[in-house]
Structure 1
Amino acid sequence: MTERNLKSGMIILSEDARHPFERLLKGWGRAVSAYIEQVGRIEAPYYFNERSNVSLLAAGAWIMKGVAVEEYPVSRSSADFSQTNGRCDLFISIDGQGAELEAKYFPYRRNETRDVFARQLKSKITEAVSAAATLPEYIYKRAGCVFYPVRIASAKRMSVAMKEMAIRGELEHYISDLRDNADIVAWCFPENARDIFLEADGDFYPGVVLAIKLVKVA
């Protein structure tokens, strides 16, 4: 198994996506860890919903000396070329390079086989990219992104070493399932989140995987 940096990391699968997302994702990892430390290691913000994850991604832009705006009005194009009013989840710009993103959130669900879950991971990316494709074609890149909070089942009795092994195993599954359907796969498993249990039965969510895929320009 590849020895990856669990705290945060990424695999860039398309050079077109390197800018501005490489720096954005470095800032995002720092933002997640800073939030957990600030609130006293009692909750993991990526566990909540799509909005909380988008806010952390926006924070990553500011940390890297960029800018970000969330939930702003846009005019979207539909299949029949008509225009409808809507909102874009996030605009970011770092070093003068901007991107608009449509986000989705997909937590691990209980009692699903790995194959079924893998298909759902991929379909969620398609859904996000399809939403991003309806955004106006400005000078900015358009992309879909999906947040996948990672669940480790019945982990309360695990040793530190067993937890790390379980996290590494889950991460490799996500990377394997996503790499053919994304331009970047990133992850963040902050050390200060390893002992936060969010469900009574002992399941915990030690981190989050994020996939980004660009809208292809014809």
Structure 2
Amino acid sequence: MQGMIISNPKLEFLRPVLERWFDCIDRFNAVRGDNDTPYWYDENANLGLLSAAAWMAEMVTLQQTSTRKQTEEGERNAHADLFIASSEERAYLQATQRWPRVNSLNLTQALADITSDAKRISYASDLKLGCLFVAPQKAQQSATPEELQDMVDDLQKEHSCAVAWYFPYAYRKLRNEAGNYHPGIAVLLKEARG
């Protein structure tokens, strides 16, 4: 089960990146085997995959890139978790990750917080995005197809500018060392204005 919705036209240039993000997850799983998956890790690991996907989509990226921010007191140094650019468009991302329960995503505040953080990473004229990776988990047993569909429905209800999700069939029953099942990952992107 995979998909994406881009509701803000400014983010449409990221469509090929998100498509290749799915491929990067598959490639990691193919190389590492059935006992590991990249979305168990933190936002830095997942930003690395997103960065690799951008390069595959003929774009360029820099992680932990320095930026400048205009403030009332003048300019100051800032930094973005990921800079991504095509020859025509660019964006600065500030990222975080959450591992909510499958039946209780509750992402509204986390998305608002990371989007607020993204306001501080560059000039007002730049496209700045809050980036929230979501790796749902469930204890004791894997998520049912109905639970997965409910999660996808919940993801689509968040007020984001773009959302992509990937719940690979082969990894839905994969369990980490703590005994929690993580059926996949989603990423929500929201424009930070100001």
**TM-score w.r.t. structure 1 length?**
0.78
Task: Find the counterpart in structure 1 of residue 191 from structure 2.
Answer: 214
1:216 Cα deviation (Å)?
A: 2.6
Give the gaps of 5 or more residues in structure 1.
Answer: 1-5, 157-161
1:75 Cα deviation (Å)?
A: 3.3
Q: What's the secondary structure of 1:174's corresponding residue?
A: helix
Give the gaps of 5 or more residues in structure 2.
Answer: none
Task: Find the counterpart in structure 1 of residue 118 from structure 2.
Answer: 132
4+ residue runs of structure 1 moved beyond 4 angstroms?
Answer: none
Percent identical: 23
Task: Find the counterpart in structure 2 of residue 65 from structure 1.
Answer: 58
Alpha-carbon distance between aligned partners in 2 of 1:34 and 1:66, rounded to the nearest angstrom:
19
Q: What's the secondary structure of 1:206's corresponding residue?
A: coil
Alpha-carbon distance between aligned partners in 2 of 1:100 and 1:107, rounded to the nearest angstrom:
23
Corresponding position: 1:90 with 2:90: no
Alpha-carbon distance between aligned partners in 1 of 2:73 and 2:81, rounded to the nearest angstrom:
22
Aligned with 2:26 (options 8, 33, 41): 33
RMSD after superposition: 2.5
| 1:131-150 equivalence runs, <5 A | 131-137=117-123, 140-150=126-136
1:96 Cα deviation (Å)?
A: 3.2
Q: Which amino acid aligns with 2:127?
A: K
1:33 Cα deviation (Å)?
A: 1.5
Alpha-carbon distance between aligned partners in 2 of 1:139 and 1:15, rounded to the nearest angstrom:
16
Report the CA distance shift for 1:62/1:192 in structure 2 as closer, same or farther (over 3 A).
farther
1:14 Cα deviation (Å)?
A: 2.1
Report the CA distance shift for 1:140/1:27 in structure 2 as closer, same or farther (over 3 A).
farther
Superposed CA offset, 1:97-151 (max 9, x none) = 21111111111159xx84xx52xx1111122122221122286421111001021
**TM-score w.r.t. structure 2 length?**
0.86
